[in-house]
Structure 1
Amino acid sequence: MQRQYDRKASKSRDLCPEQEKQSGINRSKRSVGNLSVLTEVDLLGYSVREWKGETQQAKHMREAYEELFWSCHIKYLRQVRRDNYCVLRAVLFQIFSQGIPFPSWMRERDILKLPEKLLYSQGCNWIQQYSFGPERYTGPNAFGKLRKCMDTLKTNWIEIIATKGHEERGNICNTLFSDESKEHKMYEAIKFIMLYEVVEAYEKIKNREEPIHSLFSLLFARDSSSDPLSFMMNRLNSIGDSLCLDQVELCLLGYLLEVKIRVYRLHRFNTEEFQVNYPDEYRREWNEISLLTEDDRYYHIPVFRT
Structure 2
Amino acid sequence: MPGQEGNRGITQRHTQSPAEQHCSQGHNEVFCSHPLGMASGSTKEQPNLSPFYEIPRLVWNVLNQYLTVAFAVLFKMWQHCKAWCRFPCHGHSSQRNLSVNAEVDMLLYCAKKWKGEALRARQMRKAYEEVFLKYHIKSVRPVKDDSYSALRAVLFQVFNQGIPFPGWMKETDILKLPEKLLYSQGCNWIQQFSFGPEKYAGTKVYGKLRRCLEVFKKEWTEICPSKDPAKRRKLCKTIFSDEAKERKLYEAIKFLMLYWVIDGYENIKEGHNLPQFFNLLFSRDTSSDPLSFMINHLNPIGDTTGVEQVEMFLVGYTLEVKIKVFRLTKCSTEKCQVFYPEDYKCDWHEICLVTEDDRHYNIPIITK
TM range (shorter): 0.7 to 0.9
> What whole-Å deviation, never above 9, does each CA across 1:69-108 have from its counterpart, x for those lacking one?
2221111100111110000000000000000011111111
The corresponding residue for 1:282 is 344
Does 2:200 correspond to 1:200?
Answer: no
Structure 1: unaligned runs, 5 residues or longer: 1-26
1:272 aligns with one of 334, 337, 342: 334
Q: Which amino acid aligns with 1:258?
A: E
Counterparts of 1:124-273 in structure 2, within 5 Å, are: 124-208=187-271, 210-273=272-335
Percent sequence identity is 58
Task: Compute the displacement of 1:120 (Å).
Answer: 0.9
Counterparts of 1:72-111 in structure 2, within 5 Å, are: 72-111=135-174
1:58 aligns with one of 76, 101, 121: 121
CA distance in 2, matches of 1:28, 1:305: 35
CA distance in 1, matches of 2:234, 2:213: 22
The corresponding residue for 1:11 is none
Task: Compute the displacement of 1:153 (Å).
Answer: 0.2
- Higher Cα radius of gyration: 2
How many residue pairs get matched?
279
Shift in alpha-carbon separation, 1:291–1:139, aligned structure 2, 3 A: same
CA distance in 2, matches of 1:148, 1:95: 21
Partner secondary structure for residue 248 of structure 1: helix
Structure 2: unaligned runs, 5 residues or longer: 1-85, 89-93
Task: Compute the displacement of 1:212 (Å).
Answer: 1.3
Counterparts of 1:8-47 in structure 2, within 5 Å, are: 32-47=95-110
> What whole-Å deviation, never above 9, does each CA across 1:166-189 have from its counterpart, x for those lacking one?
010000000000001110001000
TM-score normalised to structure 1 length = 0.88
CA distance in 1, matches of 2:350, 2:304: 28
Task: Compute the displacement of 1:137 (Å).
Answer: 2.9
Q: Is the 8 A contact 2:110 2:128 kept in 1?
A: yes
Partner secondary structure for residue 77 of structure 1: strand
Q: Which amino acid aligns with 1:36?
A: S
> What whole-Å deviation, never above 9, does each CA across 1:170-224 have from its counterpart, x for those lacking one?
000000000011100010000000000000011112223x311111111000011
> What whole-Å deviation, never above 9, does each CA across 1:94-145 have from its counterpart, x for those lacking one?
0000000111111111111111111111110111111001122320100000
Does 2:150 correspond to 1:68?
Answer: no
CA distance in 2, matches of 1:86, 1:28: 22
Q: Is the 8 A contact 2:213 2:252 kept in 1?
A: yes
Task: Compute the displacement of 1:62 (Å).
Answer: 1.2
